Amino acid sequence: MYNNITILNENGICTITINREAKLNALNIETLQEIKAAVTAANSDTQVGGIIITGAGPKAFAAGADISEFAGFNVKQGTKMSADGHEVMNTIERSAKPVVAAVNGFALGGGCELAMACHLRIASENAKFGQPEVNLGVPPGYGGTQRLIQLIGKSRGLELLLTGDAIGANVALEYGLVNEVVPLEDLLPRCAELLNKLASKSPSALTKVIKCVNDYYQDGLDGMKTEIEEFGHAFGTKDFKEGTSAFLNKRKAAFER
């Protein structure tokens, strides 16, 4: 079904692996569309509670876009490439189910943008993050100028965007770009552990939290208004009835997917 990614559905977790190890998992246009399709499919699968996105091999999560593919593009083609890339990243960011980036090795350019579109980021000790697009004569095109400053602040974000410098995993943790740094061999197990923890929570509440947070950053939307609406809607869900009943009866909630 897919040429550039592999899918593993196991224990309620869908693991999407970019499978272009020889190319350091560079994100060509086809790969991005496959990631979008896989995330969309996982959101429609009632057996899936969470999603992991990672790269094949120990060297790279995704070492940027595939430069050979767009080196000859004109303005119209470049604009479409960016717009399509934004659509992919927005699909991930707006996923109703939690998406964790398991960042193994290089996450540069489009790879860094892909990681930032995920809800949470766990990095291996050998991870490297950067937006080196200025070295190619372009700014980031898949949301990097926006998400990086949201995550680490304007000053630090601008420094990385303007210099094109890369930072290691521990600096990324210090900056707030990643949630946690673990040894490479512990990366996928730790991501699965985190998603298993989230699986014990209300699925509808998790979806509402993601929507409220995203709406804060969305032009033309009021995140506070969204929170009021989503909080109210929650009172009509089975999860609310189960969660409150479990709390009052001093038992563990058993939410349905």
CB-based contacts of 91, cutoff 8 Å, min separation 6:
36, 39, 40
Provide the annotated active-site residues.
113, 133
CB-based contacts of 131, cutoff 8 Å, min separation 6:
108, 109, 112, 113, 140, 144, 148, 160, 161, 164
Contact 92, 118 (CB under 8 A): yes
Neighbours of 225 (CB within 10 A): 11
CB-based contacts of 143, cutoff 8 Å, min separation 6:
85, 86, 89, 90, 113, 116, 117
Residue whose C-alpha is closest to residue 123's, from 165, 159, 158, 175: 175
Tell me the two tokens of residue 73: 């593009």
Rounded-to-integer distance, Cα 96 and Cα 25, Å: 26
Q: Name the residue type at position 56.
A: A
